[in-house]
Amino acid sequence: MRLLLVEDHVPLADELLASLTRHGYAVDWLADGRDALYQGASEPYDLIILDLGLPGKPGLQVLQEWRAGGLQTPVLILTARGSWAERIEGLKAGADDYLSKPFHPEELQLRIQALLRRAHGLANQPQLQAAGLLLDESRQCVRRNGEEIDLTSAEFRLLRYFMLHAGQILSKSHLAEHLYDGETERDSNVIEVYVNHLRRKIGREAIETRRGQGYRFSGEAV
């Protein structure tokens, strides 16, 4: 999953980047509201974390312009502790959730997971389940029939994206856009390698190849 982090406080941004990367997210970081306005609307992010107190253009205005332009990407706003007015204005402007500073990194992770599931119609799932698999996002492994299957970080990122989009046809280029940040060279052929690795671990039936189109995660019991 590819996230955009918009935060001008460098120490906090560094901490969040490290934490989000450890949890298997590809993250682009910006510190200026003007840059965020353009990039958030032009790149295919799965979720945006937006601080409201930004230089260049206030985060609230950025959010308002995103929504006015039709951007539907889930947005989690960061606000100062006790700033209830900011939270209300942010929610009115189209934010999907908010988190007050300071916050515990685990709470941020759980809120991100909940927003991503909600965006894909899976709000009632405490854990991702599809094709007879149960994904443990905290430990980055998967279970099938009670058996734990270890995953590499790349396999985990790919499987999580497949499970959030079960039943959809996903091209290699689409997967590369959502699994790598903007600074990483994207090689769609690498996706094929990771798909084959996953198939060996979870069963070939789970991931169907659609020639000329891409892959489809079955969503059916393996």
Asked which of 23-37, 115-129, 203-217 is least confident by mean pLDDT, the reply is: 115-129
Comparing CA positions, the residue from 13, 7, 75, 14 lying closest to residue 45 is 75
Q: How confident is the model at residue 127 (pLDDT cuts 50, 70, 90)?
A: confident
Residues 136 and 142: beta-carbon distance below 8 Å:
yes
pTM of the full structure: 0.92
In the predicted structure, residue 24 carries a pLDDT above the cut 50: yes
Going by C-beta distance under 8 Å and a sequence separation of 6 or more, which residues neighbour residue 69?
41
Question: From CA 79, how far away is CA 68, in angstroms rounded?
Answer: 22
Question: From CA 109, how far away is CA 83, in angstroms rounded?
Answer: 22
Q: What is the pLDDT of residue 209?
A: 94
Q: What is the pLDDT of residue 222?
A: 34
* Overall size of the chain counted in residues: 222
Q: What is the pLDDT of residue 174?
A: 95
**CA distances (Å), origin 194, targets 82, 149, 156, 160, 163:** 45, 15, 10, 13, 15
Q: What is the pLDDT of residue 132?
A: 87
Which tens digit of pLDDT belongs to each residue from 137-157? 999 999 998 899 999 999 999
Question: Is residue 109 packed enough to be buried (19+ CB in 10 Å), middle (13-18) or exposed (0-12)?
Answer: middle
